[in-house]
Amino acid sequence: MPRIDLDDLTDPRYTGFLRDFTALRDVQLRTRREPAEGLFLAESVEVIRRALENGYVPRSFLLSPHRYAELAGDLPGDVPAFVAPPELVEALTGVDLHRGALGSFARPAPRSVPDLLTALAPGPARLVVLEDIADATNVGAIVRSVAAFGVDGFVVSPRCADPLYRRSVRVSMGTVLHLPWARATSWPGDLDLLRDAGFTVAALALSDDSVALGEFAAPERLAFLLGAEGDGLSRRAITAADVVVRIPMDPRVDSLNVAAASAVALWETRRA
């Protein structure tokens, strides 16, 4: 299907495609709908290109004329590309889409923690495990650090924000689209699966028996456990970890943002 210049949001030929892009302001609705309907959204020219390069199957595109001109050479000819002025895009989505580019893609099948562990190569490996991080921006920023510092994949707890939610994907700069990840189904029970696979689970937290990050001898197979904004890791998660690691800092500051903390910890424990 070629370029479609959109001027009527009620055209019955297109409403099925356009439904993918509705109610973007309603986070709770979108986080329920997208997994249930088997889709995720890629926002911006760069993230759409990354999704296509990584083999994700597009459903449709919603683009400003300028962004269509940038992407035209990358778009598959059999997928509808709706081109609309900003005011019509805002009427459809409910947001001011200043990046001017959205792609709807088929969501990959969920991966379990055993699936993720099976996909990892034997030998040295690093994982990041996120417990109940609710802010999609933080999830995206952590995933970007995971990619930047050569981490092999990540795990999210059952209540953690969706790594394929639009804001997470955008903040990660699309790096989430080439990283293997899994959602735990038993929490914190699935940490035992990591341990059985040879990983040392290191909780990043403040405690009396914690090891300073600079003094922590990172093992060959390491899983860093990061907690929710504000409250940090739950007591159950800390108890399930093998070791607690802290980032030394000025005593007038009690903690870092979880995304910043992840970058510090992953840089310090990076493999040569």
Q: pLDDT tens, 205-243? A: 988 889 999 999 999 999 999 998 778 899 999 999 999
> Strand, helix or coil at 102?
strand
Please answer whether residues 80 and 3 qualify as being in contact, where contact means their C-beta atoms are separated by less than 8 angstroms. no
Confidence of residue 96 (pLDDT cuts 50, 70, 90): confident
User: What pLDDT shows up at residue 22?
Assistant: 96
CA distance 86 to 1: 22
Q: Is 69 left (phi over 0), alpha (psi -120 to 50) or beta?
A: alpha
User: What pLDDT shows up at residue 110?
Assistant: 94
Instruction: Give the orientation angle of helix 136-148 with respect to helix 258-268, to 10 degrees.
Output: 10
**Strand 101-106 with 39-43, pairing:** antiparallel
User: What pLDDT shows up at residue 9?
Assistant: 93
User: What pLDDT shows up at residue 1?
Assistant: 58
User: What pLDDT shows up at residue 209?
Assistant: 87
Confidence of residue 112 (pLDDT cuts 50, 70, 90): very high
The token duo for 67 is 């962004």
Three-state SS annotation for 114-146: HHHHHHCCCCCEEEEEECCCCCHHHHHHHHHHH
pLDDT at 272 exceeding the cut of 70? no
pLDDT at 134 exceeding the cut of 80? yes
pLDDT at 51 exceeding the cut of 60? yes
The token duo for 149 is 């510092």
pTM over 0.85: yes
Mean pLDDT of 88-104: 92
Of 21-30, 110-119, 158-167, 204-213, where does mean pLDDT reach its minimum? 204-213
DSSP label at residue 96: -
User: Chain-wide mean pLDDT for the chain?
Assistant: 95
pLDDT at 116 exceeding the cut of 90? yes
